[in-house]
Structure 1
C-alpha cells in the first residue's frame, strides 16, 4: 500500500499531507476520523511492510516506550500495525521541528535547546537498561506551543533498525543521519552507547547555530581519520563554544554526560559561571590598565589672573533700567489669570499621560495573560489527547495480549480515560468536542468485569480440585481487577479453616 493524500489509513486516519520522510519511515498529518483530531502518524516500512518477526519485534519495543514519561519527550499515544506496517500516533506539534531553525538559532535559544534535550537524554540514559536514542538530529526534535524542545523517535533498537533496513532493502542510514554520527559508530562492531547521543547533540546544535554540520555529510568518520574539530565561528560565548567542543570530542570518555550538560546549562541560565566536572570555563575579561602615582607638576596647578580695573579694553556698557509702569501692569495682571488655566491644564495633561501609560500597561498585561491562557489550554488539550490515545493503545495491547497479566493493560486504559474525563470537565468550554471518551471507558470496564468473572470461575474450579495454590493465584488476580471484592479474603479464610481442620484430624 502506497501512502498518499486523502487515503484512509487503518480505516481510521485520513492522510492530509506528508510532514517528513526518513530512511525507513514517513510522518503524515492525519485526521483521526474517530475523534476528529489532528494527529501526527509515523508509519514504518511504508509500501512493503514487514514480516511477522519484524512486526512482533516492534510490538515488544513500543510496549516498553509507553512507560517512559518526561517533559522533553514526545511520547507516542497509540501503537498498532496495518497491512504489516507498524505505525505510531503522536501529538501534532504545529510549531514543527528544529530543522526550521537551522542557521537561525540565537545564543539564548541555544542554551534553552541544549538544556531541554540534555534533560530528555538524561532521563532516557537513566533507565534500566539505558535507552539510547541513536538518531538525534534536527528532524527528530520538535517544539511544543510553550516553546519546549521535545525528543521524538526514541526507543528503537539497532536490532529493530536492521530489521527495517532489510524490509525496505536499504543500507546504513541516509546522508542526513550519517552527518550526526560519532566516530565510534563507524567501527567494525559499533555498540549503542550514551556518548554517541552526546556527539549527535553537539553536531545538531552546531548546525542550528551555523547552518552547517561540523564534519559535512560524513560525520564522525572524518574525525576518526584525523580531522580536527572545527572552530565555532561567530560571536558566541566562550561557554557555549566550550560545551559544543566537548560534545564533539573523538574520545567518548572526554564527552560530558547528559546530566552534566543539563547542570552546565542551568548554571549559565541562572547567571552563574558554568562548570563541568574537571573542567572550568573562565570568562575572558580585559584587565584594567595599571595607574602609576605621579607627583604634581607646577604646570598642572591652576593660576587665577585678576583683571586690572584700569584696562582700557574693558568697556562700560549701559544697563537698561526697568520701567516701573510696565512692571506694575504685569503685577496687577497675574492675579486676574484663572487658576485653572495656570495650574489645571498642566495637571490635566500630566494625568492624561499617566492614564495612557497605565492603560497601555494594562492592555499589555491583558494580552500576555490571554496568550498564557491560550498556551495553557493548548498544552492541557494536548495532554487530554495523549490520555485518550494512550488509553486506546493500552486497550489494543490488552486485546492482542496472549498471556501474562493482560488485565493490567485494561486497568491502565481506564486510568487514562479517567484522567481525560477530568480534564474534559475542567476545560469543558475551551476544548473542542471529542465524543466517545465515556463510551471508551465503559467498554473497557465491561471487559474488566468479564475478566473478573473469568478469574473467579477459574479459581473456584481450582479450589474444587483442591489445587489451593492455583486458586490463590486467580483469586488474587480477581482481587487486583476489583479491589473492593472480598473473594481473596473469603478464600483465605476457607483455606485456613480447612488447614485447621486437617491439623485437628491429624492430632486426633
Structure 2
C-alpha cells in the first residue's frame, strides 16, 4: 500500500519517548523530534509486524487532506520503539496536542465548560466534520466522541483517530456482534447502526455529533448510568 504521507520518520530521529495514552489498540507516545525541535505524538499498535494493514489504512485515511480542525500527520514511523525490543514497528506520527483530549478536560472540570469555550469547541468540531464530508469521496469518521477530540495549548479542537473511518462510496457492512473492530462507541452510534445490514452515511456522523454536542454542553457522558454492550442490544 502506498503512502500519501511521504515523510518516513526513523527511531533515530526521536528522543525522550514517553507513554501518554493507551487502549486496546496500542499506545500513544510523546517524543521529541531532534531535527524539527518539537514534540510529536506517535501511535503504535500492541501487536504489529511492521506491516499492519489496519494502521496502514488509518495512515492513508488521515493523509487524505489537510484542515486546521483535523489532526495533522507529520509522516510514518518505521523503526524500534522503547517497548518493541529489536522488532520493527509501523506507526503514525502526528502533531502533539498539549492539552490532551476533550474527555480529559471534562474529567478535570467535573462539569460543563464555560459557554464561550463550549461554542468554540462545538464550532471547531463541526468544521472538522464538514471538512471530512466535503472531501471527494467523503470521509466518514464513525467514532466521534470526546476521546477523539484533541486540544492544543489554547484549547482549540481537532479531530483524531481514524481507525474506523471509511470512504462513503460503496461501503456497507453486515452486523457482527462479536467483532469489536466493526463497532464505534455504542453510546454515540445512531440507532440504524444496530440493524442487520448497515450502510454508514454522512448522517451517521451527524447523529454522533449531536450526542457529542450534548456531552460538550453538559460535561456529561451519555447513558452514564447504564451499561451498554453489544450483547444486550436487541436487533429487530
Instruction: Give TM-score scaled by structure 1 length.
Output: 0.35
Question: Is the partner of 1:96 in helix, strand or coil?
Answer: coil
Which residue number corresponds to residue 48 of structure 2?
A: 49
In the alignment, which residue of structure 1 is the partner of 2:6? none
In the TM superposition, what are the counterparts of 1:374-389 in structure 2 within 5 Å? none
SS at match of 2:120: helix
Mapping of residues 77-476 of structure 1, within 5 Å? 77-82=74-79, 83=87, 85-102=89-106, 103-154=111-162, 156-157=164-165, 171-172=179-180, 177-216=185-224, 217-218=227-228
SS at match of 1:77: strand
Q: Distance in 1 between matches of 2:116 and 2:235?
A: 34
Question: Looking at CA atoms only, which structure, 1 or 2, has the larger radius of gyration?
Answer: 1
Structure 2 equivalent of residue 21 of structure 1: 22
What RMSD over aligned residues (CA atoms) do the two structures have, in Å? 3.5
The DSSP-based 3-state class of the residue aligned with 1:209 is helix
Structure 2 unmatched ranges of 5 or more: 1-9, 80-86, 168-177
The alpha carbon displacement at 1:174 in A equals 11
| Greater share of residues in strand | 2
Deviation at 1:87, TM superposition (A): 1.0
**Aligned 8 A contact 1:95 1:142 in 2:** yes
Is this contact kept in 1: 2:77–2:90, CA < 8 A? yes
Partner residue of 1:62?
A: 59
Q: Equivalents in 2 of 1:86, 1:184: separation in Å? A: 35
TM-score (norm 2): 0.70
Does the C-alpha gap of structure 1 residues 219 and 91 become closer, same or farther in structure 2, counting only changes over 3 Å?
Answer: same
> Which residue is equivalent to 1:40?
41
* Conserved? CA contact 1:76–1:89, under 8 Å: yes
The question of whether the paired residues in 1 share the 8 Å contact of 2:139 and 2:166 is answered with no
Aligned residues: 204
- 2:68 counterpart of 1:71: yes
Measured at CA, do residues 179 and 25 of structure 1 come closer, stay the same or move farther in structure 2, by a change above 3 Å? Answer: farther
> Helix, strand or coil: the match of 2:42?
strand
Q: In structure 2, how many angstroms separate the alpha carbons of the residues matched to 1:143 and 1:28?
A: 16
| Structure 1 unmatched ranges of 5 or more | 1-8, 160-169, 227-508
1:10 is aligned to: 11
Question: Deviations 1:284-333 (Å, cap 9, x if unpaired)?
Answer: xxxxxxxxxxxxxxxxxxxxxxxxxxxxxxxxxxxxxxxxxxxxxxxxxx
8 Å Cα contact 2:21/2:29 also seen in 1: yes
Q: Is the 8 A contact 1:23 1:173 kept in 2?
A: no
Deviation of 1:179 (Å) = 2.4
